[in-house]
Chain A
């Protein structure tokens, strides 16, 4: 009964969304307030209905209801409770249900916190949200019903894919989806603004916190996903330029650009058509990501459900949503008038440069991701190619290097007309630090990839530059220290957010550089008692033993790692076999230090009792996640700024005496 209730609630939600897509839109067109108000109630109702539906599926998982096909395919009675719950979205059908749930949460939030929004804008935006939801409800109900029953019920389930039975991956999809779907807010408001033909500071002030929230979730989600790949796949890497990873990275790049261009719209009343364009593109990439993962058009480690029929459905959805918005854009965007003028060398100019570089980077990633498809299509299936990490590294790093370099300068330029020479003079310390570190790196690792040196240099440049910008703000050493401290404390949180986020990126640059340029790998067969030395650490293989886990058998190896005779740690890499699916997985043994990770993987055993082992030293890799976390913290801090809080009164004046935030 519960599953049927969930199904029914979803059908009702579809009906509500259909009405919500039409009535408020008409109301806004005709100026009928009661029709516009309808959107608020229906958005809340939609949320309740989808919530019920999601709760029903969760119930089926938690109680192991094996008459529901979806539960049979992805759960097992012996599975730990955490993974019974995360199994709800660890599969195609359930993850789509999570998608619409999050969409409904955002819609509901607009209805509840959007008191101060102009009623017509709100009504239109909610109507657009509802129309997107209609597409996805139909998709779920017609091609991917999670509530389908089977008769007779199965005795037990097929278990969740063991790779997905992991705490990191349990929360990765919801975070990612919060990010993806979060961009639907910017999108809906962009379309509403296009219909109205008006974009102003109030619009930007409303869109920005939503975009920022989505950006925080997406950043967190991507970081979590790459962390998972790092410790679960056993390859010692954290980013593979896999199509699905790219699918989450492209919206991130565009979302970052959008975040920055919203600032310009808000403060300077310019770059409007461009910002609207970015808002559409950011959400389009989210949809494209869904398409790439769900359709099986591109093969990937991640594509756990691929089905051409679903692909056709999503492609049609994509054509309607993205094609429709770009058509609307082509028609209405030329009418958006900007008032703020600015010189090329100015804060606006710097932010535009950021936007262009981010956009180009996203375009390049898109090209690399879809290129195999193009080749396949033009050669009529005769030529198959793959575009892997070497391509992306060769293209992406040269694009990001100037961007990171410019990131240190941009915040030091004034709005409207900046002084580049003065900004560069202010940054002299950063230049010295970067240069000194580059020389040090060069002398230490001469002959290796030059990108290691470049990475260290621009990381140091950005980190120091960000600190210099902060000290400029508080006029450090130019006014008495106590006054500087007072300024520091009273800095608006949004400016703290920027400083943290930029600094976090600098840390992440160090991490990526270290692990990318100086990773040491060693593969060998080892007998118990043998020792191998990697990067100055002695790894002694102590042997392996079989153990029984809750739903798997495991061979657990033990390494004792020492340096100069002192024991540093013990590592316990495992090779597990999940009994239900008979599927083996690798669990790396990892010890994290600020200088780098010790990383051991155990492979097959041989008849003579030896094992193939793979040992890595991944320098600085922890900095990447520390950096990502710092970026998210920066975003959250900025989000908590009073002036940008969701639902802040329209046209609220900035608090007197505050510094410009960005």
Chain B
């Protein structure tokens, strides 16, 4: 092979690789991207039933119900709207009422069934997603008593 041809074959291999990777990435993005939604987004009907998404907000005070064995029920609020959440498993160490929380899952019969719950990891810090959702909800009165 001539030097030029050889170089071309390397470039070709690289292009095939990049093309393959790009296809993989696009395909994976299509299927695996998880959008972040607030309780108000759900209330406004923006979210379909079939899609996985992340729900962010604050755990409403007094809403945690552990009576169902290993399944815990609680409500997530952005102060304007509220969503019922169920989660089976051990909640993260930092899960507390009145705290920021991010749950991942989908809506089944009007209840958000989470398979992953993330709580705030540092006292001085709230996940920006949560902070943003609360800001976006706009309505500030009607505090959660």
Interface residues of A (CB under 8 A from B): 161, 163, 234, 296, 299, 301, 304, 306, 341-344, 352-353, 356-357, 360, 363-364, 367-368, 371, 381, 383-388, 390-391, 394-395, 398-399, 523-525, 575, 581, 583-586, 601, 603-604, 606, 612-614
Identify 19 new A-B residue pairs, CB closer than 8 A, beyond the known A161-B122, A364-B24.
A163-B121, A296-B128, A341-B3, A342-B6, A344-B10, A353-B13, A383-B35, A384-B132, A387-B33, A391-B28, A394-B27, A394-B32, A523-B88, A524-B69, A601-B90, A604-B90, A612-B69, A612-B70, A612-B89
The answer to the question of B108 belonging to the interface, with a C-beta cut-off of 8 Å to chain A, is: no
Contact flag A523-B9 (CB < 8 Å), given A161-B122, A301-B121, A606-B66: no
Closest chain-B Cβ to A561's Cβ sits at a distance in Å of 19
Segment touching A, from B14-22, B74-82, B137-145: B14-22
A98 to B8, CA, bound (A): 46
A301 to B119, CA, bound (A): 10
A384 near B129: Cβ-Cβ < 8 Å: yes
Nearest B-chain residue to A384, judged by Cβ: B36
Nearest A-chain residue to B9, judged by Cβ: A344
* A-chain residues with CB within 8 Å of residue B88 when the two chains form the complex: 523
B69 near A356: Cβ-Cβ < 8 Å: no
* A-chain residues with CB within 8 Å of residue B50 when the two chains form the complex: none
The answer to the question of B91 belonging to the interface, with a C-beta cut-off of 8 Å to chain A, is: yes
B66 near A604: Cβ-Cβ < 8 Å: yes
B70 near A523: Cβ-Cβ < 8 Å: yes
A603 near B94: Cβ-Cβ < 8 Å: no
* A-chain residues with CB within 8 Å of residue B127 when the two chains form the complex: 299
Nearest B-chain residue to A613, judged by Cβ: B90
Q: What 1/0 mask marks residues of chain B from 103 to 136 whose CB sits below 8 Å from any chain A CB?
A: 0100000000000000001110101110010000
The answer to the question of B43 belonging to the interface, with a C-beta cut-off of 8 Å to chain A, is: no
Closest chain-A Cβ to B20's Cβ sits at a distance in Å of 8
Closest chain-A Cβ to B39's Cβ sits at a distance in Å of 14
Closest chain-A Cβ to B23's Cβ sits at a distance in Å of 10
A399 to B123, CA, bound (A): 39
A399 near B34: Cβ-Cβ < 8 Å: no
* A-chain residues with CB within 8 Å of residue B29 when the two chains form the complex: 371, 387, 391
A383 to B54, CA, bound (A): 12
Interface residues of B (CB under 8 A from A): 1, 3, 6, 9-10, 13-14, 17-18, 21, 24-25, 27-29, 31-36, 54, 66, 69-70, 88-91, 93-94, 104, 121-123, 125, 127-129, 132
A352 to B14, CA, bound (A): 10
* B-chain residues with CB within 8 Å of residue A344 when the two chains form the complex: 1, 6, 9-10, 13
Partner of B17, one of A356, A371, A385: A356
Partner of A583, one of B69, B94, B128: B94
* A-chain residues with CB within 8 Å of residue B35 when the two chains form the complex: 383-385
Closest chain-A Cβ to B134's Cβ sits at a distance in Å of 13
Closest chain-B Cβ to A195's Cβ sits at a distance in Å of 27
A113 to B57, CA, bound (A): 56
A364 near B70: Cβ-Cβ < 8 Å: no
A647 to B127, CA, bound (A): 49
A391 near B32: Cβ-Cβ < 8 Å: yes
Closest chain-A Cβ to B95's Cβ sits at a distance in Å of 9
Contact flag A394-B1 (CB < 8 Å), given A363-B21, A604-B91: no
* A-chain residues with CB within 8 Å of residue B69 when the two chains form the complex: 524-525, 612
A604 to B70, CA, bound (A): 10
* A-chain residues with CB within 8 Å of residue B54 when the two chains form the complex: 384, 386
Nearest A-chain residue to B3, judged by Cβ: A341
* B-chain residues with CB within 8 Å of residue A381 when the two chains form the complex: 132
* A-chain residues with CB within 8 Å of residue B13 when the two chains form the complex: 344, 353, 356
20 contacts between A and B (CB under 8 A): A296-B128, A341-B3, A344-B6, A360-B21, A367-B25, A368-B25, A386-B33, A391-B29, A391-B33, A394-B28, A399-B21, A523-B89, A524-B69, A581-B123, A583-B123, A584-B93, A586-B93, A601-B90, A603-B91, A612-B70
A344 to B94, CA, bound (A): 55
Nearest B-chain residue to A234, judged by Cβ: B90
A524 near B70: Cβ-Cβ < 8 Å: yes
Closest chain-A Cβ to B88's Cβ sits at a distance in Å of 6
A584 to B95, CA, bound (A): 10
Contact flag A395-B24 (CB < 8 Å), given A299-B128, A357-B17, A525-B69: yes
Task: For the complex of A and B, list the 7 residue pairs with the smallest distance between their C-beta atoms, beginning with the closest.
Answer: A603-B90, A384-B36, A394-B28, A391-B32, A390-B32, A584-B93, A525-B69
* A-chain residues with CB within 8 Å of residue B18 when the two chains form the complex: 360
A126 to B90, CA, bound (A): 52
Closest chain-A Cβ to B138's Cβ sits at a distance in Å of 14
Contact flag A343-B90 (CB < 8 Å), given A385-B36, A394-B31: no
Nearest B-chain residue to A606, judged by Cβ: B66
Closest chain-B Cβ to A600's Cβ sits at a distance in Å of 11
* A-chain residues with CB within 8 Å of residue B32 when the two chains form the complex: 387-388, 390-391, 394
B34 near A388: Cβ-Cβ < 8 Å: yes
A386 near B34: Cβ-Cβ < 8 Å: yes
Most buried by A among B17, B35, B70: B70
B17 near A360: Cβ-Cβ < 8 Å: yes
Nearest B-chain residue to A610, judged by Cβ: B69
A284 to B117, CA, bound (A): 33
A180 to B76, CA, bound (A): 40
Most buried by A among B27, B29, B31: B29
* A-chain residues with CB within 8 Å of residue B25 when the two chains form the complex: 364, 367-368, 395
* B-chain residues with CB within 8 Å of residue A586 when the two chains form the complex: 90, 93
* B-chain residues with CB within 8 Å of residue A299 when the two chains form the complex: 127-129
* B-chain residues with CB within 8 Å of residue A601 when the two chains form the complex: 90
B122 near A304: Cβ-Cβ < 8 Å: yes
B33 near A385: Cβ-Cβ < 8 Å: yes
A357 to B132, CA, bound (A): 38
A403 to B31, CA, bound (A): 24
Closest chain-B Cβ to A413's Cβ sits at a distance in Å of 15
Contact flag A356-B14 (CB < 8 Å), given A364-B25, A384-B35, A384-B36: yes
Most buried by B among A163, A344, A386: A386
* B-chain residues with CB within 8 Å of residue A371 when the two chains form the complex: 29, 33
Nearest B-chain residue to A605, judged by Cβ: B66
A357 to B24, CA, bound (A): 14
* B-chain residues with CB within 8 Å of residue A523 when the two chains form the complex: 70, 88-90
A360 to B36, CA, bound (A): 28
Closest chain-A Cβ to B63's Cβ sits at a distance in Å of 16
Closest chain-A Cβ to B41's Cβ sits at a distance in Å of 10
B70 near A398: Cβ-Cβ < 8 Å: no
* A-chain residues with CB within 8 Å of residue B1 when the two chains form the complex: 343-344
A395 near B93: Cβ-Cβ < 8 Å: no
Nearest B-chain residue to A367, judged by Cβ: B25
A344 to B14, CA, bound (A): 12
B28 near A612: Cβ-Cβ < 8 Å: no
Closest chain-A Cβ to B37's Cβ sits at a distance in Å of 9
A360 to B104, CA, bound (A): 29
Partner of B93, one of A384, A585, A612: A585
